[in-house]
Chain A
Amino acid sequence: MDSIPPWHIIGASVTGTSHIKQGNGCDDTHTYQQHSNGSLMLAVADGAGSARHASVGARTAVNAAMKALEQVLDQQDELTSADKWECAIKLVLQVMRAEMEELPSTLQETHIQGEQSSNDKEAPSLNDFATTLLIAIVTSVWIVAAQIGDGAIVVQYDNQIVDVLTQPYHGEYLNQTNFVTDPEYLQYAQITAIQRLPTVKGIALLTDGLENLALDFATKAAYPPFFLPLFRFAARAESTQEELEAFLSSERVCKQTDDDKTILLAVRT
């Protein structure tokens, strides 16, 4: 197997101004991990604003997906075609979903044991944990991206071109999307597996809070002046997560979007 060059990975999730105004926390989350075989796993999720336990849902979705992805990567040499990757990713999503389905009863037990006086009197249902999920894998041969809901996964090539791997899904209305908790969640999954061109330099996963700044709505294309400086930032060894958080919380960004926002960047060095 080819060796994988090291990656610089940097990500940030910050609370949107509308969530701060309503006294809510950040329902976005992100995580990443490098497999022992050198492959890279990335995940971000955006808990639905309308769901009572959105942040628990988002965290569970990314953590469950990472665990399942790790097992897939243990056998990555067998995944020799895009079709095989698609099957493997569907399995990851099913494992993730099974873990999500445990959440309502787990949460209720915790409440009973802790005898917490909760103002949420109703028993939690799966929909109370609604979240989007975006995951990506980078191996020496493949880039695989999968997404349920909105947000986007974008790659950068050496020649400064940026390209969308998976796109935001919106229903007819801007404030509608799909969630991993929906009954037909697997049908909504966009899965893209491409043989990694030697020229792929970076990958970015972002939640919908940044869509309006990063993607052209009419053409659905990634906006290079948004992504290229971010990729340059991520490639720099001394860049910090705090700097990225400060950028996402800056007035310049918050003037354009009041939602929670996450970006997770990985760049080959």
Chain B
Amino acid sequence: MNYLDDVEFVTNPDPRCPCILLLDTSGSMNGRPIDALNHGLRAFQVDLAQDALAQRRVEIAIVTFGNGVQMRQEFVTADQFQTPTLIASGDTPMGQAIELAITMLRNRKDQYKANGIAYYRPWIFMITDGAPTDQWQSAAQSVHMEEAAGSLAFFAIGVQGANMQILSQIAVRPPMMLQGLQFVNLFIWLSRSQQRVSSGNVGEQIALPPITGWASL
């Protein structure tokens, strides 16, 4: 008989790859931009659904800023993720939204640790077409501290009209400018990136897919 057939495997919980979408829903996004963003979110859900591993490992949360800061979606694995339909109105409390996202990630990591769940470096992925209307300097400082500690990766995407100069002060990584309203391509890129990150093996620096097709630096 072959003993190798008898080998059984541990059922460890899937490692998680948390990603917060930090989305500008201020009044200036109203009309075609918010429609394109909603469309992009649906493409994100569909694209993630094609990767069985990512479905179980990528965890998505959504925070919106515009007419206040709202947690639109608590962390859920990609297979549970349902795209919301966002509505644009109000000003742009970006600083407060960033602080909330950082706190949410800290709490999530604590939950992973308490449950013996391994995880990958979390992402915050911010999209905006404007400039913060609240105090953003301390949020920028938090982002810099968290990046320096390796606690997260913060990406800033500007849509036409965004104040790229402020974005480059908030994010450590150079902010990227969305071409037109290429939200679908952007979110497919994000989905593919998360698929790569969440399948990363030990010691592998992940090469992200090229950003051509939706952005310029």
Residues of A near any B CB (own CB < 8 A): 16, 18, 46, 48-51, 130, 132, 149-150, 170, 172-177, 179, 208-209, 212-219, 223, 225-226, 229-230, 232-233, 236, 243-244, 247, 256, 258-259
Interface residues on B, range: 20 to 34
Measured CA separation A230–B12 after assembly (Å): 20
Q: Is the interface of B mostly helix, strand, loop or mixed?
A: loop
> Are A176 and B7 neighbours in the complex by a CB distance under 8 Å?
no
Measured CA separation A75–B84 after assembly (Å): 70
> Are B203 and A48 neighbours in the complex by a CB distance under 8 Å?
yes
> Which of A214, A232, A236, A258 is in CB contact (< 8 Å) with B201?
A258
Using known A-B contacts A217-B118, A226-B8, determine if residue A176 contacts B202 with beta carbons closer than 8 Å.
yes
**Could you say which residues of chain B place their CB within 8 Å of the CB of A208?**
201-202
Q: Indicate whether B217 reaches chain A with its CB closer than 8 angstroms.
A: no
Q: Indicate whether B121 reaches chain A with its CB closer than 8 angstroms.
A: yes
Measured CA separation A258–B13 after assembly (Å): 16
Using known A-B contacts A173-B120, A217-B13, determine if residue A259 contacts B201 with beta carbons closer than 8 Å.
yes
> Which of B2, B116, B118, B150 is in CB contact (< 8 Å) with A174?
B118
Using known A-B contacts A172-B150, A230-B4, determine if residue A213 contacts B10 with beta carbons closer than 8 Å.
yes
> Are B205 and A50 neighbours in the complex by a CB distance under 8 Å?
yes
> Are B4 and A233 neighbours in the complex by a CB distance under 8 Å?
yes
> Are B7 and A225 neighbours in the complex by a CB distance under 8 Å?
yes
Closest Cβ–Cβ distance, residue B181 to chain A (whole Å): 33
**Could you say which residues of chain B place their CB within 8 Å of the CB of A223?**
8-10
Using known A-B contacts A49-B204, A175-B202, A176-B202, determine if residue A256 contacts B9 with beta carbons closer than 8 Å.
yes
Measured CA separation A51–B7 after assembly (Å): 32
Measured CA separation A172–B205 after assembly (Å): 15
Q: Indicate whether B200 reaches chain A with its CB closer than 8 angstroms.
A: yes
